[in-house]
Chain A
Amino acid sequence: MVRWILPAILAVALIITGIWGYSQYRLSRQYGVYMDNLYQKSFYEMVGSVGNIETQLSKLMISDDQGQNIMMLSEIWRHADNAQTNLGQLPLSHLSLERIQKFLNQLGDYCYYLIKKAGEGKPLTVEEMDNLRQLHNSCVRLNNDLRVLENRINEGGVKFEEIHLKGNRQADEVSEDIITRQFTKIEQVGMEYPRLIYDGPFSETVLQGKKVSLTGKAVTQAEANQIAVSFVGKDRVKEVKSSSEGKGDIETWGVYIETRDQESPIYVSVSKKGGKVINMVGDAGKQKARMSIEDARKQGQKLLEERGFPGMTPTYQQYYDGIAVINYAYEEDGIIFYPDLIKVKLSLEDGRLLGFEAMNYWIAHKERKLDEPKLSLEEAEKLVSGEMNIKSSRLAVIPTDSGGERLCYEFRGTFGNENFIVYIDAYTGEEADILKIIDTENGNLVL
């Protein structure tokens, strides 16, 4: 009897230990994932903030308005703070981070000091502008190094524990550079996400809290299906089915369409009231780029005209994988109306319509009666900073953060080889906005 009780107990104990060991292992793996996620988040937040700092610093170079200056300096200050906090959470040795920390800290403090000055009505002196220029240059370098690090993380899917070893070396290179910056006397530091301008300027503000007011009679699902078919193009359509209804700011019928020219289906949303096409979503896979961007812009215009959207002019575009996404705004009497925005996605292979987005247009487009501008073009031009080289100008209506609209003179120009757009209010002469355009190989990005 005694002989098999002992091994039995031991066996049970072994099994229990095994189960416990395995569950501990699983738990520790969970924690590992959790920690890695925290590091990733901190890293991305920091990179995002440094990018924002760089953009704001460059805009500061050509801003001349007290209000705008305070805003931009505040943004930099906040972002510097955010970047620092997140930097501090990364598993890199204290020494290698110390200098980047110092840079961010001093930048934040300097901006805080400048904000106070601006609040007292004192503009940036020549010396301060030079300092900001130097800071901007340092920031560009830091930003570029961070991008390299970010790409490495994305490509290799490297975990942060490994970064711990590699990152140290990278970080050291970065901080050496920053040591040679001279910081002049620098005195003694929450977040609104910069407008999501990935999809062209002014596309977010319009939507906030606005209702789409459509006119026209109500349509049925069947009618919506027909509308979607003619929108996509009768000869392209192979099969049409009803899809999920949409509710939200607007009620829509969903239409599912299979076409002869691509594998992936297309989904079209048609408003229940008025039968207007709100959007079209589809993926055609990689395309061969056979058209030039210029031709693509014209093609998009043609597609829009065919579908009942005349007078739309292309503003910004992005292209990748042989696909072009082009923003169109309504133009009339030489004034461009940015709130009336439609996005067109088309193939650069055969120019066919791949996607369509018109929510902004349906919300904002209306008959407008605008008063004559109080300032002439020449007067407005004088109010733009002398630092900027103006290349062209026109009248434009832009949306405001509070959901309204503003008539402005739009001045496009360059500063230090970079492209900027400055908007001067046509009635008050205030600087309404400054945008920075970045031409990448994928089109323009607006920040």
Chain B
Amino acid sequence: MRNKKIRLMIVVVLTAFICSGMILHDYLEKRKMIETALYWGSTGEKVMEVQRKLKQWGYYDGEVDGIYGSKTFEAVKNFQRKHGLKVDGIVGEQTAAAIGIRLDGQAAAYQPSRDGGGNRGDIYLLARLVHGEARGEPYIGKVAVAAVVLNRVKDPRFPNTIAGVIYQPLAFTAVSDGQINLTPDEESLRAARDAMNGWDPTYGALYYYNPAIATSKWIYSRPVHLRIGKHVFAK
């Protein structure tokens, strides 16, 4: 008789124990979800992020002060309405994801660029052109030729990339006769660099020609900016 009672008690106690354990666990889970969610009364960094994002996108016009007050509440509801989310004014997982904020958890890995993209290719291409067009000219003449290419890139009448300007049909003789494919010497490389770095002795010239061999009458009508070596630079 006593054994049975004891066993029954044990079963009841165990069951109660398990049940309360489950209830407790459930409660703690809910609390965790609520804890990470943001709602009226929350404060902190995450609230600031929410406010900032909503402000930048025009849903919120209050202070970015990290305090979730009525204005923030309204803004969040507005946002949820627009996005088809449950309109409860609470920033839970779904709302946060839509705003673009992580309440917790890791972002995907980010791979930085190795070489910095950069422009080494452009400098080399420019140097090849300089070498083809201005071999034998004084250094400043080489810089000037490179500067003309860059001026053209900036000008709306010409192609918008360095490659585009250099390879524009009929623009440079060094391109049509293949001289551009010779390996540029070091001086040409340095001249290309100077031009890329902003040195423009021609003050914006777009054309240059050798008066000894130029045939087009039109080119002579362009205002002359500078004369260097064999070349005249004009706009």
Contact residues of A with B, CB < 8 Å?
30, 33-34, 36-38, 40-41, 44-45, 47-48, 51-52, 54-55, 58, 61, 64-66, 121-130, 133-134, 136-137, 140-141, 143-144, 147, 150, 154, 157, 159, 191-193, 196, 198-200, 203-204, 208, 244-250, 252, 254, 264-265, 267, 269, 279, 281-283, 285-286, 318, 320-321, 323, 325, 343, 345, 355, 357, 359-360, 379, 382-383, 386-387, 415-418, 431, 438-440, 445, 447
What are 19 A-B residue pairs whose CB atoms fall within 8 Å in the complex?
A34-B169, A40-B163, A47-B121, A123-B56, A125-B99, A133-B109, A196-B150, A198-B197, A244-B227, A246-B203, A248-B205, A265-B139, A281-B139, A321-B186, A357-B199, A359-B198, A415-B110, A416-B112, A418-B113
- Shortest C-beta distance, A269 to chain B (Å), equals 7
Q: A204-B154, A382-B48 are in contact. List 8 more A-B contacts (CB 8 A).
A: A45-B163, A198-B122, A247-B203, A318-B197, A383-B52, A418-B112, A431-B56, A447-B117
Which of B10-18, B177-185, B207-215 participates in binding chain A?
A: B177-185
Identity of the chain A residue whose Cβ is nearest the Cβ of B102 in the assembled complex: A126
Tell me if A445 and B119 are in contact (CB < 8 A).
Answer: yes
Q: Please indicate which of the listed interface residues B48, B175, B202 has the most CB atoms of chain A within 10 Å of its own CB.
A: B175
Q: Which residues of B contact A416 (CB under 8 A)?
A: 110-112
Beta-carbon contact of B235 and A121 below 8 Å: no
Q: Which chain A residue shows the least CB distance to B138? A: A265
Chain B 121-163 residues near chain A, CB threshold 8 A:
121-125, 138-140, 143, 150, 153-154, 160-163
Residues in A with CB closer than 8 Å to B193 are: 320, 325
Complex contacts, A447 vs chain B, CB 8 Å: 116-118
- A438 close to B118 (CB less than 8 A): yes
Binds A, one of B22-30, B34-42, B68-76, B218-226: B218-226
Q: State which of A130, A157, A382 has its C-beta within 8 Å of the C-beta of B181.
A: A157
A58 CA to B116 CA, complexed, in Å? 11
Report yes or no: A382 in contact with B52, Cβ–Cβ below 8 A: yes
B224 is contacted by which of A136, A247, A285, A379 (Cβ under 8 Å)? Answer: A247
Minimum C-beta distance from A418 to chain B (A) = 5
Would you give the shortest CB distance from A40 to chain B, in whole angstroms? Answer: 7
With A248-B235, A355-B199, A386-B45 in contact, do A121 and B228 touch (Cβ < 8 Å)?
Answer: no
Q: How far is the CB of B164 from chain A (nearest CB, A)?
A: 7
CB distance from B234 to the nearest CB of A (A): 9
Are B113 and A244 closer than 8 Å at their CB atoms? no
Query: Do B117 and A123 have beta carbons less than 8 Å apart?
Result: no
Contact between B117 and A66, CB atoms less than 8 A apart: no
Q: Name the residue among A55, A134, A199 with the largest chain B CB count within 10 angstroms.
A: A199
Tell me the minimal C-beta distance from B225 to chain A in angstroms.
5
Total interface residues in chain B, CB < 8 Å: 83
Q: When A and B form their complex, which 6 residue pairs have the shortest distance between CB atoms, in order from nearest?
A: A248-B203, A438-B116, A416-B110, A41-B167, A44-B163, A199-B198
Q: Hey, which chain A residues are within 8 Å of B162, CB to CB?
A: 44, 48
- Give the shortest distance, in Å, between B125 (CB) and chain A (any CB): 6
User: Chain B's nearest CB lies how many Å from the CB of A187?
Assistant: 17
- Cβ-defined contact, B116 with A133, below 8 A: no
Which of B97, B183, B205 is A127 in contact with, Cβ under 8 Å?
Answer: B97
Pick from A66, A204, A244: contact of B226, CB under 8 Å: A244
